[in-house]
């Protein structure tokens, strides 16, 4: 079979550029197009040109329909609005939708779950192997400890990040809540400020640091009287996310429509 053709959305973004590099270097897939937001200055140009090199025949376009027709997968690390718009476009296509976009609302996620009845969707707030393994460890530790251990999720990202808590922090919070057998919504305590009162037993706290060029750092703290455990992941290169997304796009080939995540892709469920 031919190498699957992949479209990258938002090719000039931080993750978009990294995805283009990782796919271009891969023997398992080929890049068939790059999309940008309507009216973007790079629309109508060639990806090679956009990356500062020779032309490479990969079109950069603000007309996603024109490139999706040639694709077996679309990799999407953009914004919630762009992700939902692509989901609608993919109604008429067999291409898989690999979604790394974070900051999606509960309604957005419900829309994507409905779209999964006709599209193969792989979505994760973090596509690295390390973080997905960490979710399993967090779940296991949370299940082993009682509520004498206060759980706090602390995340740090670069100054450009627009959503908080991060998608990864929410994945880790979900894993901790699942280990405890509770719904995260019922126990989440996001970003305390002011006269908050004493900590609520059983709460799962979230705190976000934003600064400089931090790529992504996550700590899950289990703090009791007399001892603390910290489980930590540090991303030092965005390629870990891009490699995970490419793996997801390849894994999705031939899969039935449905809502999948990286635990499915990595065989960790």
Ligand X SMILES: O=C(O)C1=N[C@H](C(=O)O)C[C@H](O)C1
CA 161 to CA 159: how far, in whole Å?
Answer: 6
Is 179 among the residues that bind ligand X (CB under 6 A)?
no
Give, for 52, the enclosing helix (H) or strand (E).
none
> CB-wise, 1 or 162, nearer to ligand NDP?
162
As given in the structure block, the two tokens for residue 196 are 């908050």
Nearest residue relative to ligand X (C-beta): 216
Give min distance, CB of 230 to ligand X, in A: 17
Q: What crossing angle do the helices spanning 167-180 and 129-144 adopt, rounded to 10°?
A: 30
State the Cα–Cα distance between residues 46 and 73, nearest whole angstrom: 20
Nearer Cβ to ligand X (79/166): 166
Please, what is the angle between helix 239-251 and helix 129-144, to 10°?
Answer: 90
Contacts of ligand X in 103-142 (CB under 6 A): 125-126
CB 57, min distance to ligand NDP, A: 20
- Binding footprint of ligand NDP on the chain (CB under 6 A): 9-10, 12-16, 35-37, 40, 77-79, 82, 85, 100-103, 124-127, 167, 241
Q: How many CB atoms lie within 10 A of CB 69?
A: 14
Instruction: State the minimum distance, in angstroms, from the CB of residue 138 to ligand X.
Output: 14
Q: Which does 83 bind (CB under 5 to 8 A by kind): ligand X, ligand NDP, none?
A: none
Q: Which does 157 bind (CB under 5 to 8 A by kind): ligand NDP, ligand X, none?
A: ligand X
Full strand arrangement of the beta sheet holding 150-157: 188-190, 204-210, 150-157, 216-224, 227-235
Pick 43 or 84: Cβ nearer ligand X: 84
* 15 annotated ligand-binding residue: yes
> Which one of ligand X, ligand NDP, none is in contact with 153 (Cβ closer than 5 to 8 A by kind)?
none
End-to-end CA distance of the chain: 28
Among the options 161, 207, 218, 233, which is catalytic? 161
Active-site entry in 97, 157, 218, 247 = 157
Task: Confirm or deny that 200 is annotated as ligand binding.
Answer: no
Cis (ω within 30 of 0) for the bond into 165? yes
Phi, psi dihedral angles at 137 (to 5 degrees): -65, -40
d(CA 10, CA 105): 20
- Largest Cα span, the chain: 62
Least distance to ligand NDP from the beta carbon of 158, Å?
8
Is 157 part of the annotated catalytic residue set? yes
**Binding positions:** 10-15, 36, 100-102, 124-127, 158, 167-168
Instruction: Return residues touching ligand X (CB under 6 A).
Output: 102, 125-126, 157, 161, 166-168, 216
Positions marked catalytic: 157, 161
């Amino acid at each position: 079979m031919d190498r699957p053709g992949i479209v990258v959305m938002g090719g000039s973004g931080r993750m978009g550029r990294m995805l283009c590099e990782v796919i271009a270097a891969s023997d398992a897939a080929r890049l068939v197009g790059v999309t940008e937001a309507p009216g973007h200055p790079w629309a109508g140009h060639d990806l090679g040109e956009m990356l500062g090199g020779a032309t490479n025949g990969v079109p950069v376009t603000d007309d996603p329909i024109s490139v999706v027709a040639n694709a077996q997968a679309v990799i999407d690390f953009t914004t919630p609005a762009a992700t939902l718009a692509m989901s609608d476009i993919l109604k008429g296509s067999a291409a898989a939708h690999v979604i790394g976009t974070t900051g999606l609302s509960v309604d957005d996620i419900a829309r994507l779950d409905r779209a999964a009845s006709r599209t193969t969707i792989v979505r994760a707030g973090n596509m690295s192997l390390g973080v997905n393994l960490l979710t399993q460890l967090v779940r296991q530790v949370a299940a082993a400890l009682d509520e004498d251990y206060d759980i706090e999720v602390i995340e740090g990202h670069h100054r450009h990040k627009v959503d908080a808590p991060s998608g990864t922090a929410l994945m880790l919070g979900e894993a901790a809540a699942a280990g405890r057998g509770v719904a995260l919504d019922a126990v989440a305590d996001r970003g305390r400020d002011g006269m908050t009162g004493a900590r609520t037993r059983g709460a799962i706290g979230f705190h976000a640091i934003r600064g400089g060029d931090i790529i992504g750092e996550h700590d899950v703290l289990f703090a009791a009287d007399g001892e603390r455990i910290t489980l930590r992941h540090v991303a030092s290169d965005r390629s870990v996310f891009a490699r995970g997304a490419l793996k997801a796009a390849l894994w999705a080939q031939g899969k039935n429509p449905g809502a999948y995540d990286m635990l499915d892709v990595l065989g960790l469920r």
